[in-house]
Structure 1
Amino acid sequence: MAGSPDHKPDEAGPGVSMLNFHSFLHGGTSSLLSAVIVFPVYKTVFRQQIHNTPVRQAVAQLCREGPLKLYRGVVPPLLMRTLNGTLLFGIQDSLIHQLSSQKVLPSSALPAVAGFGAGVVEAVALTPFERIQNVLQNSQNDRHLPTLKSILVRLKTQPLAFGFYRAFLPITVRNALGSSLYFGFKGPMCNAVEGQGLSPLVSSFITGTLTSMAISLALYPVSVLVANMQAPVGGEATGWGACWRMLLRSRQRSVALLYRGGSLVILRSCVTWGITTAIYDWQQKHSG
């Protein structure tokens, strides 16, 4: 299992290199499969975050637009999720080996610390993908930015901090904390669930479901902030602090309105990370 503290640093060499390769490969394939399944749920959540609409209204809006529009913008999230899983699992596993060899941290803390580092790298690599995805899924951009090419051309004309790397700081905070918590709790929770007599595959699915559900709900306001910062193109360039204050005002400083879409986040997290964790752990155990 990735992130397990029982990796042995004295086994460095071709075996470790192959193990790291498997971590990158299996992380990418498991994330790709889960992304295809949950994209409609993600898009419904996004509409709620941007337009502040109830779930029924968001679903009705997507139904009126039809199946072709439903999967508009699917390419960036597929690429992003695949790269996300590749980097997250692969780098975390590589950092585990590096930190283990240095013996500067207790073994129980290694998965969480390595996860934090992987989350930072993930934010650097994936912020442009998330930016493009949020611009594509904002229906208010359909008229003046109808294609992926037009979006890329427009973002290239802007400074990085307001173009491709808009909302980089909150994304880094969200990803680093989320990854640290996920890998920190993944191993112990999976062992506890498997100890109840469940199969390893079911145990991994339940572990991914429970950990990601808790993390997603805790960090949901940050995701709402990111979506609202990244969805528009042009206009006044404001920092994350000003955007956060504007967001609170638009939600009438109501926690319930700020968490609108939270129920679907639970569903999305259950499906996405439950499947991802189960497939990844299964591949790792059967890679030989």
Structure 2
Amino acid sequence: MGDKARMQHGDPERRREEEERRWSSRSFNVGAASSFLSTLMTFPIYKTIFRQQIHAFSIQEAIQQLRQEGMRRFYRGLFPPLLSKTLQGTLLFGTYDSLLLLLTSNPSEPCTLGERWTAGFLSGSVEALVLNPFERVQNVLQDGRKDARFPNTRSILQEFNSYGLKERLIVGYYRGLSPVLLRNSLGSALYFSFKDPLRDGLAARGLPSWLPALVSGSVNGTVTCLALYPLSVLIANMQSQVVGRDLPGLRQSVWSVWESHGRKLTILYRGGSLLVLRSCLTWGLTTAIHDFLKENTGQKSQEE
């Protein structure tokens, strides 16, 4: 009887690990909440970075342009990223956990690097396919040069919907899909591959319980975003273009961005300093909140 009970209940640590891998709405809900809050907090930084990407401005020039536009237009373009980032957090964590469960052959054993990488890569691809239209609309709204022609989201949607079905997808909602797929899939794979190992390594040093996840998310998010930043610059420039139905293709866009930034990597990385700050805040907070809530709700379900 004792052996049977031990087999049923198992080691508490092993049961906790298996519970964490089990498909649950918990990952979707926590990811949505943490992403919503972090987006509200970091939107001013994001908009400043966007202006640097579009105009190759310094920080001072970007802030001065936003100041001239006034507070009334400062939060223009907030709704698309707020909605998309909330969906992003939902998809990122929920889809990753679900895919990892399918890919893991033995739930009682630690996940391998290959399993985490594959699940992260696939979840990033799903995220890109779902959220590309939101990012497209957001980038048009945040470009000050488009204010007169596209004063709101509805005007952009009307423009895209006036196209035929093929053009509506390729030129409208899904413009820039290739670099978005590449950026999101690689970014998600890198983030999930090293998030937990770094967190666990820091936790083993006896740090406060909330700090390892915060540092892990900040470091992983910052390194990943910096590595993929040129793709974000390309995406911002491609998706802010609404000049008719004959838009430049991917190769032309890459060359145009490189030319407009003086063929210099240092100018291409303008906005990188603010990106570090935003990534530290966004990914650090998102990771810490997600891991904290997931752990506590998991403990509650086990107690029940």
Q: Return the TM-score normalized by structure 2.
A: 0.87
Code of the residue aligned with 1:264 in structure 2: it is L
1:246 pairs, out of 256, 261, 264, with 256
Is the contact made by 1:7 and 1:97 (CA closer than 8 Å) also made in structure 2?
A: no
Is the contact made by 2:241 and 2:247 (CA closer than 8 Å) also made in structure 1?
A: no
Code of the residue aligned with 1:250 in structure 2: it is S
Q: Which residue of 2 aligns with 1:91?
A: 95
Is the contact made by 1:225 and 1:244 (CA closer than 8 Å) also made in structure 2?
A: yes
Q: Secondary structure at the match of 1:234?
A: coil
Q: How does 1:130-209 map to 2 (within 5 A)?
A: 130-158=135-163, 159=167, 160-209=169-218
Q: Which residue of 1 aligns with 2:5?
A: none
Q: Deviations over 1:226-251 (max 9, x none)?
A: 00000021244221111001111111
Q: How does 1:35-74 map to 2 (within 5 A)?
A: 35-74=39-78
The structure that has the greater radius of gyration is: 2
Q: Secondary structure at the match of 1:185?
A: helix
**Structure 2 portions without partners, runs of 5+:** 1-15
Aligned-pair CA distance for 1:108: 3.4
Q: Deviations over 1:120-156 (max 9, x none)?
A: 0000000000000000001111001111110111112
How has the CA–CA distance of structure 1 residues 102 and 278 changed in structure 2, closer, same or farther, with 3 Å as cutoff?
A: closer
Code of the residue aligned with 1:272 in structure 2: it is T
1:277 aligns with 2:250: no
Distance in 1 between the 2:75 and 2:205 partners?
40
1:262 pairs, out of 260, 267, 272, with 272
Q: Deviations over 1:44-98 (max 9, x none)?
A: 0000000111100101111222222110110000000000000000000000111
Q: Which runs of 4+ in 1 moved over 6 A?
A: none
Q: Which residue of 2 aligns with 1:25?
A: 29
2:22 pairs, out of 8, 16, 20, with 16
Question: How many percent of aligned residue pairs carry the same amino acid?
Answer: 44
Code of the residue aligned with 1:173 in structure 2: it is L
Distance in 2 between the 1:102 and 1:188 partners?
19
2:126 pairs, out of 98, 121, 126, with 121
Q: Return the TM-score normalized by structure 1.
A: 0.92
Code of the residue aligned with 1:281 in structure 2: it is D
Q: Which residue of 1 aligns with 2:221?
A: 212
**Structure 1 portions without partners, runs of 5+:** 1-5
Distance in 1 between the 2:93 and 2:103 partners?
15
Aligned-residue CA RMSD (Å):
1.8
Aligned-pair CA distance for 1:106: 6.4
